[in-house]
């Protein structure tokens, strides 16, 4: 049974140049219809949740009135102590929304800061400025939020290690408890991908990116943020429980176009069209566009691929309990080719091998390691 709920709000004011998430431009009547169908769906759920995460898109783009509607129905679906996160973008996070969030049990705000340098924000196609981003974080703090996360991007073409160091220095001065730091990637179907293909931009070299990544880990640790996943750093007690559930490959329910659910061993993705989602939901029809029932082996492999992203890595006993599969048998052929070049290391306790985790070098190649488990 799912203990985590994800809700996708697929509206943005403008598409960022690097973004390949499903989102459409804001259209007031669609937004209103969408919130109505979501509320009906949520009300009909016979479940309550340990974590709720409203992501996007740009959730903070919804009006106060629509937020109130949504939060009212979600209020009945929160278990005591529920971690309730709302993603927000700086330009649309205002005090009235923050007040509403605080009143209706939202206890974690994740702000898409991305950069504290206006030129870099422009390059990425973001519509807010650095000062707006700082103000958004301070506003959240003033409204009493102590669990504020910010997203950051490094490795933008033309960026130097020194300018990145300056940004991180400013970032940790903010009243935040969590920071997610992503390396810019050039995903197909994005403007940046086209620009890169046409050689209009030259991405940073691998070794420059590696230097930045290493710097993140060391600098953030000194500033009190320990790494608990390849891109995630938090102060003590502020790891994102919703994401930890995801990396444990535990069940979750996803609502909204493009949202993925993982329930009863079936991974299913909703259609990628908000109008279609509204129509299907209003007619009580299935919104799933594609699904896959995972075999025991597949489930185990996916669990390994997700869990290895965490600093803790894979504990063999946990893995066996969780998947019914012996990790060493499952990955026997693969393991040496990852341990030998220093990407993985075995975790031993009293001379007994209890698990496996990424090395510092392995974190740099996390995607490669993760894919090799699938
Ligand atoms: S605001 Fe977020 S979801 Fe919207 S286009 Fe930008 S990166 Fe994508």
Instruction: Among 14, 16, 31, name the best residue to mutate to test ligand 1's pocket (greatest count of ligand atoms within 8 A of Cβ).
Output: 16
How remote is the CA of residue 56 from the centroid of ligand 1, in Å?
Answer: 7
**Average pLDDT over every residue of 71-78:** 96
Residue 322, pLDDT above cutoff 90: yes
* Residue of 317, 372, 302, 303 whose CA lies nearest to 344: 372
Total domains in the chain come to 2
Contact 327, 304 (CB under 8 A): yes
Report the nearest atom of ligand 1 relative to the CA of 20: 8
**Ligand 1 pocket, residue 16 CB under 6 Å:** yes
Residue finishing a domain among 247, 266, 285: 247
In three-state secondary structure terms, 281 is helix
Q: Assess if residue 113 is contained within a domain.
A: yes
Instruction: Report strand pairing: 148-154 vs 108-114.
Output: parallel
Phi, psi (5° rounding) for residue 30?
A: -65, -40
| Helix or strand holding residue 358 (H, E) | strand 352-358
Local confidence band at 352 (pLDDT 50, 70, 90 cut-offs): confident
Q: What is the percent of the chain where pLDDT is above 70?
A: 100
**Average pLDDT over every residue of 116-139:** 98
Q: Assess if residue 299 is contained within a domain.
A: no
How remote is the CA of residue 24 from the centroid of ligand 1, in Å?
Answer: 10
How remote is the CA of residue 13 from the centroid of ligand 1, in Å?
Answer: 9
Residues 331, 222 within the same domain:
no
**Ligand 1 pocket, residue 19 CB under 6 Å:** yes
How remote is the CA of residue 39 from the centroid of ligand 1, in Å?
Answer: 23
How remote is the CA of residue 70 from the centroid of ligand 1, in Å?
Answer: 21
How remote is the CA of residue 29 from the centroid of ligand 1, in Å?
Answer: 20
**Average pLDDT over every residue of 345-363:** 92
Local confidence band at 350 (pLDDT 50, 70, 90 cut-offs): confident
How remote is the CA of residue 223 from the centroid of ligand 1, in Å?
Answer: 28
Euclidean distance between CA atoms 72 and 77, whole angstroms:
10
| Bridge partners of residue 4, in order along the sequence | 51
Q: Assign residue 152 the CATH number of its domain.
A: 3.20.20.70
**Average pLDDT over every residue of 342-367:** 93
**Tens of pLDDT along 213-261?**
999 999 999 999 999 999 999 999 999 999 999 999 999 999 999 999 9
pLDDT of residue 20: 95
At 271, list the tokens: 């259609």
Euclidean distance between CA atoms 24 and 242, whole angstroms:
25
**Tens of pLDDT along 198-210?**
999 999 999 999 9
Residues 185, 43 within the same domain:
yes
Q: Assess if residue 278 is contained within a domain.
A: no
- Its domain, for residue 317, covers 313-372
Residues 64, 209 within the same domain:
yes
Local confidence band at 373 (pLDDT 50, 70, 90 cut-offs): very high
**Ligand 1 pocket, residue 157 CB under 6 Å:** no
Contact 57, 12 (CB under 8 A): yes
Phi-psi region of 161 (alpha: psi -120 to 50; beta: other; left: phi over 0): alpha
How remote is the CA of residue 258 from the centroid of ligand 1, in Å?
Answer: 14
Instruction: Among 112, 132, 156, 258, name the best residue to mutate to test ligand 1's pocket (greatest count of ligand atoms within 8 A of Cβ).
Output: 112
Contact 56, 21 (CB under 8 A): yes
- Write down the residue that tokens 């205002």 correspond to: 94
Q: What is the mean pLDDT of the chain?
A: 96
Residues 115, 197 within the same domain:
yes
Q: Whose CA is nearest to atom 3 of ligand 1?
A: 57
Local confidence band at 95 (pLDDT 50, 70, 90 cut-offs): very high
Report the nearest atom of ligand 1 relative to the CA of 57: 3
How remote is the CA of residue 15 from the centroid of ligand 1, in Å?
Answer: 6
Residue finishing a domain among 224, 247, 270: 247
**Average pLDDT over every residue of 256-276:** 97
Residues 331, 216 within the same domain:
no
Euclidean distance between CA atoms 3 and 53, whole angstroms:
11
Q: What is the percent of the chain where pLDDT is above 90?
A: 96
Residue 1, pLDDT above cutoff 90: no
Q: Assess if residue 228 is contained within a domain.
A: yes
Residues 336, 225 within the same domain:
no
Residues 224, 367 within the same domain:
no
**Ligand 1 pocket, residue 12 CB under 6 Å:** yes
Reported pTM:
0.96
Residues 235, 320 within the same domain:
no
Q: Whose CA is nearest to atom 6 of ligand 1?
A: 16
Q: Assess if residue 276 is contained within a domain.
A: no
Euclidean distance between CA atoms 78 and 286, whole angstroms:
25
**Average pLDDT over every residue of 253-271:** 97
**Ligand 1 pocket, residue 57 CB under 6 Å:** yes
Residues 224, 335 within the same domain:
no
**Ligand 1 pocket, residue 21 CB under 6 Å:** yes
Q: Assess if residue 252 is contained within a domain.
A: no
Q: Assess if residue 206 is contained within a domain.
A: yes
Q: Assess if residue 123 is contained within a domain.
A: yes
How remote is the CA of residue 57 from the centroid of ligand 1, in Å?
Answer: 5
Residues 126, 215 within the same domain:
yes
pLDDT of residue 65: 97
pLDDT of residue 332: 84
pLDDT of residue 349: 84
Contact 298, 343 (CB under 8 A): no
DSSP state of 58: -
Residues 233, 318 within the same domain:
no
Residue finishing a domain among 205, 223, 247: 247
Residues 238, 333 within the same domain:
no
């Amino acid at each position: 049974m799912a203990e985590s709920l994800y809700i996708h709000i697929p509206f943005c004011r403008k598409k960022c140049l690097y973004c390949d998430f499903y989102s459409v431009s804001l259209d007031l009547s669609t937004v209103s219809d969408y919130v109505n169908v979501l509320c009906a769906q949520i009300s009909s759920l016979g479940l309550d949740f340990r974590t709720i995460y409203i992501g996007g898109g740009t959730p903070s783009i919804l009006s106060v009135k629509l937020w109130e509607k949504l939060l009212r129905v979600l209020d009945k679906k929160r278990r005591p102590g529920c971690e309730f996160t709302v993603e927000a973008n700086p330009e649309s996070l205002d005090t009235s929304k923050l007040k509403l969030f605080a009143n209706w049990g939202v206890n974690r705000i994740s702000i898409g800061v991305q950069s504290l340098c206006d030129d870099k924000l422009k390059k990425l196609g973001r519509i807010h400025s650095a000062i707006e981003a700082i103000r958004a974080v301070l506003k959240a703090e003033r409204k009493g939020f102590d669990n504020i996360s910010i997203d950051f991007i490094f490795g933008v073409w033309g960026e130097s290690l020194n300018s990145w160091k300056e940004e991180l220095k400013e970032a940790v001065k903010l009243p935040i408890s969590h920071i997610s730091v992503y390396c810019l990637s050039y995903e197909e179907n994005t403007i940046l991908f086209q620009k890169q293909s046409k050689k209009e931009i030259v991405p940073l070299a691998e070794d420059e990116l590696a230097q930045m990544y290493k710097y993140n880990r060391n600098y953030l640790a000194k500033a009190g943020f320990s790494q608990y996943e390849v891109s995630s750093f938090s102060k003590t007690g502020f790891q994102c429980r919703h994401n930890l559930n995801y990396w444990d490959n535990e069940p979750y329910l996803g609502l909204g176009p493009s949202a993925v659910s993982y329930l009863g061993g079936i991974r299913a993705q909703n259609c990628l069209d908000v109008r279609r989602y509204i129509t299907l939901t209003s007619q009580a029809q299935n919104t799933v566009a594609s699904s896959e029932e995972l075999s025991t082996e597949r489930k185990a492999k996916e669990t390994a691929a997700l869990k290895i992203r965490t600093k803790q890595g894979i504990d063999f006993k946990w893995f066996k309990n969780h998947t019914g599969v012996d990790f060493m048998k499952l990955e026997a052929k693969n393991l040496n080719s990852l341990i030998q070049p220093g990407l993985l290391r075995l975790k031993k306790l009293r001379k007994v091998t209890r698990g496996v985790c990424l090395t510092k070098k392995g974190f740099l190649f996390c995607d490669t390691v993760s894919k090799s488990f699938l």
